[in-house]
Chain A
């Protein structure tokens, strides 16, 4: 499962992506 893949804060996600030299994927969803 990808539950632990998603960050919920931009700063944390951006820092992790830049440090790992990965791309940052912003997924905008509308539950329901």
Chain B
């Protein structure tokens, strides 16, 4: 992360725009480690735990390249907005993600969340949800999100 992903200018911009960072060495017995890492133990690195006003909104372990990391940051912002009930912001961020970050690993999960957001934004608009979920099920059938979305085939038309 420190040699490839973080030095990327677009990553730096995305972080500065929407995040405050806390960097903790897994091996250094940092006094804040237990509290900062949240309720679950972290035993491997690189690990990422993201909080919104003290509430954990995302956690994962593993390296991402600059583009995939930017997509992950965007998804995290959308997910945080959705968790707060800010459906319009979540929808805007997910549509930016799906437009600009095609081919990144977060796309199946972004389609899944976009389907839910589109459904709610449209006052139970099943047709809007169907677009994202059918695409997710069709293009990513072996992922868990493709499986989640596959139930759309049984929804009323």
Interface of A toward B, CB cutoff 8 Å: 1-2, 5-11, 13-14, 16-18, 20, 22-31
Assess the B50–A25 pair: CB atoms within 8 A: yes
Tell me if B45 is interfacial: C-beta within 8 Å of chain A.
yes
- Interface SS of chain B: helix, strand, loop or mixed? mixed
Tell me if B24 is interfacial: C-beta within 8 Å of chain A.
yes
Residue of B15, B16, B54 with most chain A CB atoms under a 10 A cut-off: B15
Query: CA A12 – CA B26 in complex, angstroms?
Result: 19
Tell me if B27 is interfacial: C-beta within 8 Å of chain A.
yes
- Interface SS of chain A: helix, strand, loop or mixed? mixed
Measured CB to CB, the nearest residue on chain A to B52 is A23
Known contacts A26-B50, A30-B45; decide if A13 and B26 are in contact (CB<8 Å).
no
